[in-house]
Structure 1
């Protein structure tokens, strides 16, 4: 069998496999969260959020809503150098993001059943 024929068989089988894979994964929430940042943010986003008093005041003062806060966490970057990941009960993560041209920093305590936002502030202030 010539190389061109083998390549043709390989590519046709590969194409059929991709079509079948696309058919089975369409409509499902399949994701490839392999990086530490993506895994951490996904874990925090999957839990119900609670706010400390300071964070609730910050949200009211700056007219933010819960969807904005969730998106700040979901699309934020975790600063592992400042985070306290060796705690036993609730690990604390610092998440940086940008909202309306201003840098925002969040401190989130990630417990087993709930995620609590301990601090939220603009970095420039």
Structure 2
């Protein structure tokens, strides 16, 4: 009888855990889902996506495309070896995406796109 009681409590706890997990993962996978960024690349790109986008005046007109820059900030990989992550007040990052490299400064309230090269 003691085994059945322990099995019953185990199944109650397991079912509560499964309901919580399903609810939590459903929120994560939805359109308004929660985004988890544990790695440095993901955290920096998420921070950059949350700021205002400004184009440098020396940037050619063909690269002043917000959708192009958003693609870098969504799918890009940051080259931390070449980036200057210690500078103040703005940190400089090199972001690679589909053979192109974006150079951007991450300031406290904005992102300044300096150049895009192949």
Q: TM-score, normalised by structure 1?
A: 0.74
> Pairwise CA RMSD of aligned residues?
2.6
Q: Could you tell me how far 1:11 is from its partner in structure 2?
A: 5.6
Q: Aligned partners of 1:54, 1:18: CA distance in 2, in Å?
A: 55
Structure 2 unmatched runs, 5+: none
Equivalent residue for 2:116, pick from 111, 115, 120: 120
Distance 1:56 1:21, change over 3 A: farther
Correspondence for 1:94: 94
Equivalent residue for 1:43, pick from 28, 42, 47: 47
SS in 2 for 1:92: strand
Correspondence for 1:55: 59
Q: Aligned partners of 2:11, 2:79: CA distance in 1, in Å?
A: 43
Aligned length: 112
Q: Could you tell me how far 1:41 is from its partner in structure 2?
A: 0.5
SS in 1 for 2:82: strand
SS in 2 for 1:80: coil
SS in 2 for 1:81: coil
Correspondence for 1:74: 74
Q: Aligned partners of 1:14, 1:21: CA distance in 2, in Å?
A: 10
Q: TM-score, normalised by structure 2?
A: 0.78
Structure with a larger share of its residues in strand: 1
Superposed CA offset, 1:6-60 (max 9, x none): 4x75465234323234436636531210100000000011101111134342426
